[in-house]
Structure 1
Amino acid sequence: MPTQAERSATTRAKLLDATAECLAELGYARTSTTEVARRAGVSRGAQLHHFPTKAELVAAAVDHVLERRVEEFRTLIATVPDGPGRVEAAIDLLWSMFQGPTFDAWYELTTAARTDPDLRPHVVRVADLLDERVRDVFHDLFAPPPGQVATPIYHDVAPAFLFAVLEGLATQRVTGGTRAGPNAEKVLAALKYLASEFPIHTPSTGEVQP
């Protein structure tokens, strides 16, 4: 029989999943705590117990989903063979993370946070957390060769640059620009070319690939 802590964790997860679903489908303005509780199949009282305000609820939901997506990315990229092609595969997998409801929900929140002082600090916190997770995954997957220290451009600029470009492409997709698809293909090809020119350590050989 589930413990109280397990039941609480289950209720919380249901609320977070339902919130992310509402954000992607309805947008921030039309997402209500009442609708979230209905979709999650929990009482209004249970929802308020876990998340007293809408801002706390939606920020926690995106935090929850983004953490899950980072783990999915780490798991997927671990299946890609070592070698120069691993970087291109990582870019393709990372881009796939910007193609679904997770990014749509995040886009809704970042837009709303510009004029919502209650939501803004929560979105800033989640954005900072995601930035840390992205750098951690990048460092784990593409560590410098043994005995060498990674330069700041490698540790900090490379993952930040990659995410900035992908977020821009995803924003074009969300807003429905007619050039979104063709632009994405060209920019992704350019990213892969730049990555091929960047020295990446491949664990299988212990060498730096040009």
Structure 2
Amino acid sequence: MALASARPATARRGIKAQSATGPTQQSLKSAQTRARLIDATIRCIVKFGYANTTTPQVAAEAGLSRGAMLHHFENGAAMIKATIVELHEKRLRAFRRAAETTDHDASTMVSTYWRQLQKPAFVAFHELALAARTNADLARILQPLQIEFRQKFNSQAVQLFPEWQSDPVSFDLAMTLSQTMLEGMAINLLTGAIEESMVQPMLRLLEQQIRLMRPGPKDQPK
């Protein structure tokens, strides 16, 4: 204590500044490592499926030791939970990007969401959702997060689409129709249940239906 109090004021300020910036740099590094592990988990699920994904595989995919991985996630369940949260956040961010325009044209909205469904994140989430049907441990992780996601998604949708507020019933139907049809079509395309040539006609059909359901003057196809 005596040595510390004998230091010049400028030196003490330097030490204080270092201690203030140190944890911030460390927390940033920690967040980056967690993000690497989550991205690696998504890639492993896409490559191997949920049942065949192991924590050593994830660590290797991230370029980290298993010990380093366990420093950030105490077990596989914690890592899967963080991965599901990130997958939900990716969907919410994509939805915001698609909706934060002055013109909510049905064609733009549908094509933007469809492009999002072609990314690995959708495949990973679909794998997890199917696995949760028969895996009770995974279901206990997934189901509460699904409820939380729906609440966030619905709240965000109401804010981003004020033009639909006069008809909330039609809005709920339009959102449910869009999500069910687009995600179902993406799954069918992955499994070969539909031909790729059907994608664009189905997208146009969905756009037409949304225009018909929208309150006020109806959009004209562009």
Pick from 147, 151, 173 the counterpart of residue 189 of structure 2. Answer: 173
Which segment drifts farther, 59-68 or 125-134? 125-134
1:128 corresponding residue in structure 2: 147
Specify the SS of the correspondent of 2:162: coil
TM-score (norm 1): 0.81
Q: Is there any run of 5+ residues in structure 1 with no aligned partner, and where?
A: 201-207
Larger Rg: 2
What amino acid maps onto 1:115 in structure 2?
Answer: T
Pick from 13, 18, 22 the counterpart of residue 44 of structure 2. Answer: 22
Structure 2 counterparts to residues 1-210 of structure 1, below 5 A: 3-78=25-100, 80-82=101-103, 86-144=105-163, 149-177=165-193, 179-200=194-215, 208-210=216-218
**Contact 2:174/2:213 (<8 A) preserved:** no
Q: CA deviation at 1:164?
A: 1.3
**Contact 1:56/1:119 (<8 A) preserved:** no
What amino acid maps onto 1:199 in structure 2?
Answer: R
Q: Is there any run of 5+ residues in structure 2 with no aligned partner, and where?
A: 1-21
**Contact 2:106/2:207 (<8 A) preserved:** yes
What count of residue pairs does the alignment treat as equivalent? 196
**Contact 1:19/1:61 (<8 A) preserved:** yes
TM-score (norm 2): 0.77
Q: CA deviation at 1:155?
A: 4.5
Specify the SS of the correspondent of 1:209: coil
Decide which structure has greater helix share.
2
Q: Percent identity?
A: 31
**Contact 2:50/2:131 (<8 A) preserved:** yes
**Contact 1:62/1:102 (<8 A) preserved:** no
